[in-house]
Structure 1
Amino acid sequence: MSVVSLQGVTKRYGDTRAVDDVSFDLHENRIHGLLGRNGAGKSTVMRMLTGQEVPTSGRIRVFGENPYENADVLHRVCFIKESQRYPDIFIARHALEAAALVFPNWDQDFADRLVDEFRLPLKQRVRKLSRGQLSAVGVIIGLAARAPVTLFDEPYLGLDAVARQAFYDHLIADYTEHPRTIVLSTHLIDEVADIIEHVTVIDRGRIVMDDSSENLRSQAVTVSGPTKAVEQFSDGHDVLHREDLGGFTRVLVAGVPSERETASLQVEPVSLQQLVVRTTQFHDAALAGAGTGNGLGNGTGTGTGKGDRS
């Protein structure tokens, strides 16, 4: 069941379209990845979902209602972002106490365990916390709030590798026990690839991929071998990326070729990060006039890319 729905949503800032005719759903009790480059429109989408901004056009519904100035909706939504700001007079403990008042599902015991795990100094003023400690405040609130819809807009970037892994471990464990809709917006795709169940990729304000992780991984492969053989294979396939080294060529192609087509070639699966990066590049090439073929998933990425050298 969909708990969040965007239909034809556009957001303009003057002559700039930060979000351009975007439509997608966030489903109940699922971990979503909202992925894309800096400036792609991810944060703008999340600000509109949480009622911080109003779309220029289109329709947004959260739990079936417009989220803007809707307290009944917003107390069920937790939005944690990297640039989260707190009053200068707050110490870290005040930020957690404020969150406990806002979110009905707040678990204080869980929050206390996370404070110990992330070694958060509760009596330190927030403005004097390190970047990692400030990130810890955000992820503790996002996890302990147990909001039915929880959005993380890269707040964990300030954490070191050990702390980020602790965040992922706690996220999965608590999500398993207390399912809810979680959105992870991140550049660290490889780190979350095994966590996210549904992938939505936005580029230049438009959706270019929107499908389950499992389906997306089955829609592309890497094919490599002698250049001439790979070029013969590539004819008739959408090539998302190509690499040449001497007489050896590797291509990332949309779709899964038959064994007959690749009998003399090596076929390998692609990582989610590789798929997202190359599909986004492919979309950019299409917008620049490279072609008009089909992209991946349910998005709008286009371009033939046949034999295209990248």
Structure 2
Amino acid sequence: MIEVRGVTIRYGRTVAVDDVDLTLPADTIYGLLGRNGSGKTSLLSALACYRKPTTGTVLVDGEEAFENPRIARRTSFIRDTLDVQDGYRVSAAFCLTESLRPGWDAEYAGKLADVLQLDTRKRISALSRGQRSVLGVILGLATRAPLTILDEPYLGMDAVARTLFYRELLADYLAHPRTIILSTHLIEEVAELFERIIIMDRGRILLHDETDALRGRGVTVTGPAERVTAFAHGHTVLGEQSLAGVRALTLDGPLDPDEIARGERDGLAFGPLGLQDLFVHLTSQPLEATR
């Protein structure tokens, strides 16, 4: 259980995290979404015992997280920069992690290195950006920490490597449940992993809800442009696409079943709201509109 109570993080005059309250039950995969500069990494640093909030408290299992050795040993925080020296070989990074993390599974780390095609004999300084990302996700997953935080760990990884990473993350989570927080910009690509979604904007939490509930929040209406426009009258439009007389509008919902039935009789098709459309709408509003 993670409890964030009135947490604010400032860097001089810049407020990175603005009076955040958040409760995260254990053994759940969370997706943390936000635009660049929204405060995601600062919040994650506080959750991972890396940073003391300017004000407020972060509690993990009822204990204050910052400079807490017991909590730190049970927390894995993987960022785009590795916390190991470039002169180490990959195998040495594995050994170092094993000495620090009680849940480390060396056999699983070896399996991941094979699946993700990482040569453990290489020095870290010789790894490409994508290979460094692969090393990071292996360190994050094979640690099997009760709190695993992955802050955009896929940077530089190609589509095949990312797909294999998502597959391994889900399979190992099902076998060894734990709290996983994954920060990402690749919303639609990874949305199926998330049980709950957290959206940050300008240092504040805009939304925290179950993924399935968010998918039911609105609909996409597709059909002849004039009929779609008429149907959408009076609804909030989140996004739109048009091509050759066909129009698709994403509406903030939910819609009444009778209304959908009437639209279908008029030849309109309805689909669920995409998480990316919801994210873009919420994080592109003026500051006053989100208060």
TM-score (norm 1): 0.85
Pairwise CA RMSD? 2.1
| Paired position in structure 2 for 1:139 | 137
| Paired position in structure 1 for 2:278 | 275
Q: How far does residue 230 in structure 1 lie from its aligned partner after superposition?
A: 4.6
In 1, Cα distance between equivalents of 2:180 and 2:166: 12
In 2, Cα distance between equivalents of 1:250 and 1:120: 43
Match for 2:258 among 254, 257, 260? Answer: 260
Whether the 8 Å CA contact 2:240–2:247 is kept in 1: the answer is yes
Whether the 8 Å CA contact 1:193–1:273 is kept in 2: the answer is no
In 2, Cα distance between equivalents of 1:34 and 1:44: 12
Choose 133-142 or 242-251, whichever is displaced more. 242-251
SS state at 1:257 partner:
coil
Cα offsets for 1:271-309 (capped at 9, x unmatched): 22222223322xx2x32x5xx5xxxxxxxx46xxxxxxx
In 2, Cα distance between equivalents of 1:5 and 1:222: 36
In 2, Cα distance between equivalents of 1:159 and 1:91: 20
TM-score (norm 2): 0.90
Pair 1:245–1:118, CA change in 2 (3 A): closer
Cα offsets for 1:132-180 (capped at 9, x unmatched): 2211211111111000010111112222111111111111111111110
Structure 2: 5+ residue stretches without partners: none
Pair 1:14–1:115, CA change in 2 (3 A): same
Matches within 5 A, 1:4-23: 4-23=2-21
Share of identical aligned residues, percent?
Answer: 43
Matches within 5 A, 1:78-93: 78-93=76-91
SS state at 1:209 partner:
strand
Cα offsets for 1:237-260 (capped at 9, x unmatched): 333234566876543222211133
SS state at 1:156 partner:
coil
In 1, Cα distance between equivalents of 2:242 and 2:91: 55
Amino acid at match of 2:194: I
Choose 156-165 or 194-203, whichever is displaced more. 156-165
Q: How far does residue 218 in structure 1 lie from its aligned partner after superposition?
A: 0.7
Cα offsets for 1:71-122 (capped at 9, x unmatched): 0111111001112242233121111111111111111111111122222222
In 1, Cα distance between equivalents of 2:110 and 2:243: 54
SS state at 2:53 partner:
coil
In 2, Cα distance between equivalents of 1:58 and 1:213: 28
| Paired position in structure 2 for 1:297 | none
Aligned residues: 286
Amino acid at match of 2:207: M
Cα offsets for 1:197-237 (capped at 9, x unmatched): 10001111111221010011011112345566555544543
Amino acid at match of 1:144: A
SS state at 1:143 partner:
helix
In 2, Cα distance between equivalents of 1:154 and 1:6: 21
Structure 1: 5+ residue stretches without partners: 293-300, 303-310
Higher helix share: 2
SS state at 1:261 partner:
helix
| Paired position in structure 1 for 2:72 | 74
In 1, Cα distance between equivalents of 2:212 and 2:21: 21
| Paired position in structure 2 for 1:105 | 103
Pair 1:246–1:7, CA change in 2 (3 A): farther
SS state at 2:81 partner:
coil
